[in-house]
Amino acid sequence: MSDLPLIQADRAVEPPAATTTSGGRGRRLRLLSRTDRVVITLMVSVPLLLVTALVWLPALATVVLSGTDWDGIGPLADIDFVGGRNYRDVFTIYPPFVPAVQHNLLWLAALFLVATPFGMFLAVLLDKELRGGRFYQTALYLPVVLSLALIGFVWQLIYSRDQGLLNAVLGTDVDWYGDPGVNIWAVMLASGWRHVGYIMLLYLAGLKGVDPSLREAASVDGASEPKAFFRVIFPVLRPINIIVLVVTVIESLRAFDLVWVVNKGRNGLELLSALVTQNVVGEASRIGFGSALATIMLVVSLVFITVYLVTVMRGEDR
């Protein structure tokens, strides 16, 4: 089934290719019929238009608005520009900003160093065709199917200080969601629980696609299991590894839902995304100030995106 579109595509390309060879002028042009050119123009312009309208224009508008003190009410002509005041305020007198940056970095580190490797590890285990593998697979993937809002709900049952499962079982009195020194870890555990399942499934799909003869060859050559994995399988899975890496970075930058469900990103759970939402969305409507925060987040994201693109392109050149 899956290679059906490929066949159709091949057929679709053939007839014009035949007609163009009989033409007379410049080689490049001759390769493309009029239909081709229309199709290509559409294929380039439609996504370009969408990306511009839905990504770049809003991003640009955010940057412009970050220089204003707009409260979201009244015509655009009434907007006053205040220069860099919003940015100055963010860095000097806005107490949640520094913790938010720290928490975002912590989030990235925790997902990258703990959750992602653990998910990959589980995938390798499940790839071994254990008895009941399907069951484990489903159990581990279940959190991914649930919405993060629901996950927040489930974990609240566990973490509640007075009535939660965890304190009841451990006999402790820890304020899991309220203590600002503890709650970020509690929330990251909940978020990691979901992330592990996601990574596991992605990686498992990759592992299933590895040619079994590679493993056989490795074992015939006397490579141990770990050695075979790190020297043979892992390099072969490079495309999946990159996807996993990107997913991890994206997940940590857009971490928001869980924190928002717990306490709207306050009191030890500050994240850049939550601060943007607190300011822009809702009654507050500090559009200008929130846009300044969003712009800072954009810049941080751009750093990661640039690093990623550079790495990927370098890899392709080789």
DSSP per-residue letters across 44-107:
HHHHHHHHIIIIIHHHHHHHHHTTB---S-S-GGGPPB-TTHHHHHHHHT-TTHHHHHHHHHHH
Work out which of 106, 178, 241, 305 binds other proteins, going by CB under 8 A. 178
183 contributes a contact to other proteins by CB under 8 A: yes
266 contributes a contact to other proteins by CB under 8 A: yes
**Binding span for other proteins by CB under 8 A among 3-11, 92-100, 114-122, 244-252:** 92-100
Q: Which of residues 147-176 bind other proteins (CB under 8 A)?
A: 149, 152-153, 156-157, 159-164, 173, 175-176
Contact between residue 187 and residue 151 where contact means Cβ atoms under 8 Å apart: no
> What is the rounded CA–CA span in Å between residue 88 and residue 295?
13
**Shorter beta-carbon distance to other proteins: residue 133 or 180:** 180
179 contributes a contact to other proteins by CB under 8 A: yes
**Shorter beta-carbon distance to other proteins: residue 153 or 230:** 153
Contact between residue 288 and residue 62 where contact means Cβ atoms under 8 Å apart: no
Beta strand residue intervals within the chain, DSSP E: none
> What is the rounded CA–CA span in Å between residue 244 and residue 314?
18
Work out which of 73, 76, 169, 313 binds other proteins, going by CB under 8 A. 73
Count of residues making up the chain = 318
Work out which of 116, 248, 277, 295 binds other proteins, going by CB under 8 A. 277
248 contributes a contact to other proteins by CB under 8 A: no
85 contributes a contact to other proteins by CB under 8 A: yes
> What is the rounded CA–CA span in Å between residue 273 and residue 264?
11
Measure Cα distances from 229 to 7, 196, 267 in Å.
Answer: 35, 19, 43
Q: Which of residues 24-43 bind other proteins (CB under 8 A)?
A: none
- Residue 220 half-sphere exposure toward CB, CA atoms < 13 A: 6
From the CB of 303, what's the least distance to other proteins, in Å? 22
> What is the rounded CA–CA span in Å between residue 257 and residue 34?
48
**Shorter beta-carbon distance to other proteins: residue 240 or 259:** 259
267 contributes a contact to other proteins by CB under 8 A: yes
**Binding span for other proteins by CB under 8 A among 5-13, 43-51, 127-135, 272-280:** 272-280
- Residue 279 half-sphere exposure toward CB, CA atoms < 13 A: 23
From the CB of 287, what's the least distance to other proteins, in Å? 9
**Shorter beta-carbon distance to other proteins: residue 66 or 137:** 66
Q: Please give the angle made by the CA atoms of 104, 109 and 115, to the nearest 5 degrees.
A: 115
251 contributes a contact to other proteins by CB under 8 A: no
> What is the rounded CA–CA span in Å between residue 38 and residue 199?
40
From the CB of 286, what's the least distance to other proteins, in Å? 5
Q: Using CB atoms within 10 Å of the CB of residue 141, give its burial: 0 to 12 exposed, 13 to 18 middle, 19+ buried.
A: middle
**Shorter beta-carbon distance to other proteins: residue 166 or 223:** 166
Q: How many residues bind other proteins (CB under 8 A)?
A: 52
283 contributes a contact to other proteins by CB under 8 A: yes
**Binding span for other proteins by CB under 8 A among 88-96, 120-128, 222-230, 238-246:** 88-96
Tell me the chain's radius of gyration from C-alpha atoms.
26
- Residue ranges in contact with other proteins by CB under 8 A: 58, 69, 71-74, 82, 85, 89, 92-96, 149, 152-153, 156-157, 159-164, 173, 175-180, 183, 257, 260-261, 263-264, 266-267, 277-286, 288-289
